[in-house]
Structures are given as structure tokens and as C-alpha cells.
Structure 1
Amino acid sequence: MVQENELVLEIAETVAAREGVDITQLASPLHEAIDTEALESLFATPGVDASVAFEYCGYTVRVDGEGDVRVSEPTPDATATKVSA
């Protein structure tokens, strides 16, 4: 089970590392890009059959059913928020 805010912190830390800055120096807070409470709730149970992709600070962030986070440069056809279940 993912602890409260653990996933949100991991996303912010990963993006900050890509930017080479502290998480407090990111251009905008994560909750401005996605509903962080809903994200945490969705992935609170490991193995959920869902994935989420969204744009944050110029990166595409993907979270899978195990709560694994991948951050990459956005693709040209990326949309603001994608959710599949």
C-alpha cells in the first residue's frame, strides 16, 4: 500500500531531478497539473488495473498500476491528461 503523499512526492522529486532543482523550485505545484488526492487514492492499492499519464513542468508523467512513475519528454501528440482503466 502506498503511504499518503508518497506517490505525489516521488513524482515531484523525479521531475525536480530531471530539472536539476529542488522540488521547492519547480515551476508549479503538482496539484495544479492533476488532482493529487485522486491520484493517491487511485493507486493506494498496489496492482490496480489502471494507468495515468499527464503533463507536468514540460514532462509527460506516467503512473502504472503498481504505482511506478516514469517521467519523459512529452511526445508531440500527448494530451493534457489521459486516464485508462
Structure 2
Amino acid sequence: MVVIRLARHGRKNFPFYKIVVSDNRFSVKKRFIERIGFFNPFSLIKEKKFNINMQRFQHWVNKGAKPSDRTKDLIVKFNSIDTV
């Protein structure tokens, strides 16, 4: 099954997350199909805190990919989309 989820990067105590499309059988950090955005919880500028390519997100959702709960919450919070 294909999922859209966060992959943690960054250094200790300062996480940086990439939003990736991957197969749920593979490791979060090692193997993914496509990187479609990022989330930086420590950024003070809202535009640099969260970024996602919504066209690619919709493309993968239409093909059957399931976004994780946290990814859904971030999209609703930052992009003002009611339902994902």
C-alpha cells in the first residue's frame, strides 16, 4: 500500500520532516517514491514552516495513496482545506 507520510531528518532535538510518498513496507528514511514537500516545526516564518505540492498530493491520493493522520492535520492547518 502506498502512503504519504513524514520522514524525520535534521539533527538531535531539531527535527525537520520531509513529506514523502512511499510504500508502507519500506523504512521511513531509506526508500521512498517521491518527495512532495517539507515541514519545519522550528521555523519562525509561516511560509517556510510547511510546503507541499498539492498537485502531486492530489495525484497520489487519486491513485489510492493514504495520507497519514499527521500529514492530513498539517494540510488542513496550513492550506485551509476542509477535507483530505
Q: Give the TM-score taking structure 2 as reference length.
A: 0.29
Q: Which has the higher strand share?
A: 2
| Bigger helix fraction | 1
